Structure 1
Amino acid sequence: MDLISIFCGFCLFVGIVLTAVKLYEVSIKKPFVSEIKLHGKTAIVTGANTGLGYWTALDLAKRGARVILACRNLQKAEEAKKKILKELSDRGDVVVSHLDLSSMQSVRQFARETYEQESRLDILINNAAVSSMPKTITEEGLEFTYATNHVAPFLLTDLLLDLLKKSAPSRIVNLTSIMNTFGKVDVGDLQGKKDYDGFSSYCNTKLMNILFTKELARRLEGTGVSTCCVHPGAAGTEIFRGLWGNQLFTPFLSLFFKTPRDGAQTTLYAAVSEEMRNARGEYLSDSQVYDHTWWISGSAYDQGLCKKLWEATEAIIATTDLSSSN
């Protein structure tokens, strides 16, 4: 078989797979429709300047919530704020706050400012993530992808727990991905030192998000703070910006994947719906619980692994605390 035939066969296969994805997404497309209002409530959405985060923040603001756009790029965040306020005829309560999830020092500063400026926190949405990035070590000695996708959301949630408990009933929503099924967690190597590649690291951190959520749910029992994790579906967002050949890949996203607005619907269901007010670590997709299916790695139900990951992450965070104090 010549190379042209192999290439054509591969393209046909990819086309069939993408078409199947599109047909599935259309068949289950179900926007979250609810008249629930959030006046007097405060929500934080990380990575809210674009994609899923933007549409999540917009919906929460439309419901009357005070929404904090926690973003690394302040210019883009201000632009997102202007767009949201324009949608609300300048009657919304939207705040921009700097948060660089690759820096634990930035996470701590954001948490301090939140306690200084906010009297309550009802919804925390750990939305921001990166994918397929080259291996990069931060000034704190952490690998960029692992720091951004796992360590930072862990630390941010931990630092804001007192405010969430004070505001109970409150909710924590952690975004994950179906790619968790390809992930592996080595608690002795949470920074990809042994073997790193961008795609595998993304999958690993998405599994970590689920393990973190399930252990968090166990620790939050009786506090009035609920938590769950969400797979938004295959959505065409900037999460793909780290992929090789992104300039060629991006135009196809709108053809075969969910729009970011559609992808945000399950996050909103988790954050707002009455059905999820007592969530205890469930895995959601398409606005329904998908626990114990092929959508989620069997490792997610290993309570011992959940606990070990928690403790190993705390140890990593402790090293950044020491480095920032020197």
Structure 2
Amino acid sequence: MLQILFYILIAICSFVFISGLIYRKISGVCTCTNQLTGKTVIVTGASAGVGKEAAFDFAQRGARVILACRNMEKAEKVKEWIVSSTGNKNVICHHLELSDMDSVRKFAKETIQREKRIDILVNNAGTFSGARQLSKQGYELTLATNHYGHFLLTILLLDIIVKSSPSRIINVSSLNHKFPGFDLDDLHFKRRTYGSVAAYRQTKLCNVLFTNELARRLTQKGIENVTVNSLTPGVVKNRNI
């Protein structure tokens, strides 16, 4: 019995040590202080977590920040917090339900009509569904929210982003994109047994593939002042952990 407890203790210590090494390697804090006065930034999913902190940082550096969120009550509270904390009153909230392509089109249309420029688009919002659900258009909900919605939003806003160059498109992915289980013939889990982790992982791979292809096509067209990147936020202490 003591021997078993000893091995368990060794395993726990090893896990903690390795986790610490990984955390130190992939974690970090943005220390950039470049001013963004005159720039307009859209952050999806800005009512909590990484999106909320990113929106705060952009506002702190003088940008006009658009909080694109599903829950407007939470978004308004975040807006009030950002304005009171930074003194930047140029922060606005607009409704965006990324799983609903009609909502995405409405948001994009109104944004183009209202805004003169879009300098930075941060496709951050995401969901992790415990059970298989379908979106309004009949897509698997995680895929619709994490990929299709952002894909459509980016394409609809691409002209104004290009006209605002130098500009950036940032797609928030995850290290989960590296894991196997991607099935192009069954993205909506109609045949496969649904798994929430597998569904999430494939959306993060879609984010990366879309980023790479969009960057390639822009370069091919000679558009060099629009930077398209994907990223993993690393180990982040947020509401999901």
Q: What are the residue-to-residue correspondences of 1:310-325 with 2, within 5 Å?
A: none
Closer/same/farther in 2, CA of residues 162 and 21 from structure 1, 3 Å limit? same
**Residue number among 83, 106, 109 corresponding to 1:109 in the alignment:** 106
Contact 2:177/2:204 (<8 A) preserved: yes
Contact 1:220/1:226 (<8 A) preserved: no
Contact 2:27/2:234 (<8 A) preserved: no
Closer/same/farther in 2, CA of residues 204 and 18 from structure 1, 3 Å limit? farther
Per the TM alignment, residue 82 of structure 1 is displaced from its structure 2 partner at its CA by 0.7
Other structure's SS at 1:57 match? helix
The aligned residue for residue 73 of structure 1 is 71
Say yes or no: does 1:197 pair with 2:198: no
Q: CA RMSD in A?
A: 2.1
- Structure 1 letter corresponding to 2:86: L
Residue-by-residue CA offset, 1:133-180 (whole Å, 9 max, x unaligned): 310012211111010111111111011001101101110000111111
**Residue number among 9, 20, 23 corresponding to 1:22 in the alignment:** 20
The aligned residue for residue 302 of structure 1 is none
Q: Distance in 2 between matches of 1:76 and 1:173?
A: 23
Per the TM alignment, residue 237 of structure 1 is displaced from its structure 2 partner at its CA by 2.6
- Structure 1 letter corresponding to 2:18: A
Q: Distance in 2 between matches of 1:160 and 1:142?
A: 22
Closer/same/farther in 2, CA of residues 18 and 54 from structure 1, 3 Å limit? farther
The aligned residue for residue 235 of structure 1 is 236
- Structure 1 letter corresponding to 2:81: K
Residue-by-residue CA offset, 1:258-299 (whole Å, 9 max, x unaligned): xxxxxxxxxxxxxxxxxxxxxxxxxxxxxxxxxxxxxxxxxx
Per the TM alignment, residue 191 of structure 1 is displaced from its structure 2 partner at its CA by 1.5
Other structure's SS at 2:184 match? coil
Contact 1:176/1:210 (<8 A) preserved: yes
Q: Distance in 2 between matches of 1:131 and 1:15?
A: 30
TM (norm. structure 1) is: 0.67
Contact 1:132/1:197 (<8 A) preserved: no
The aligned residue for residue 84 of structure 2 is 86
Other structure's SS at 1:68 match? strand
Closer/same/farther in 2, CA of residues 40 and 178 from structure 1, 3 Å limit? same
Q: Distance in 2 between matches of 1:14 and 1:209?
A: 34
Structure 1 moving runs of 4+ over 6 Å:
none
Q: Distance in 2 between matches of 1:96 and 1:53?
A: 13
Q: Distance in 2 between matches of 1:18 and 1:70?
A: 37
Contact 2:26/2:234 (<8 A) preserved: no
Other structure's SS at 1:92 match? coil
Say yes or no: does 1:55 pair with 2:56: no
Other structure's SS at 2:93 match? strand
Contact 1:45/1:57 (<8 A) preserved: yes
Greater CA drift, 23-32 or 110-119: 23-32
Q: Distance in 2 between matches of 1:233 and 1:26?
A: 10
- Structure 2 letter corresponding to 1:158: I
- Structure 2 letter corresponding to 1:135: R
Per the TM alignment, residue 25 of structure 1 is displaced from its structure 2 partner at its CA by 2.0
Contact 1:103/1:147 (<8 A) preserved: yes
The aligned residue for residue 175 of structure 2 is 178
- Structure 2 letter corresponding to 1:128: A
Contact 1:171/1:226 (<8 A) preserved: yes
Other structure's SS at 2:169 match? strand
Other structure's SS at 1:210 match? helix
Per the TM alignment, residue 29 of structure 1 is displaced from its structure 2 partner at its CA by 4.6
State, as a whole percentage, how many aligned pairs show the same letter.
Answer: 44
Closer/same/farther in 2, CA of residues 112 and 13 from structure 1, 3 Å limit? farther
Other structure's SS at 2:214 match? helix
Q: Distance in 1 between matches of 2:119 and 2:80?
A: 23
The aligned residue for residue 162 of structure 2 is 165
Q: Distance in 1 between matches of 2:127 and 2:180?
A: 15
Q: Distance in 2 between matches of 1:93 and 1:85?
A: 8
Per the TM alignment, residue 220 of structure 1 is displaced from its structure 2 partner at its CA by 1.2
Other structure's SS at 1:218 match? helix
Closer/same/farther in 2, CA of residues 22 and 82 from structure 1, 3 Å limit? farther
Closer/same/farther in 2, CA of residues 15 and 161 from structure 1, 3 Å limit? farther
TM (norm. structure 2) is: 0.89
Per the TM alignment, residue 12 of structure 1 is displaced from its structure 2 partner at its CA by 6.7
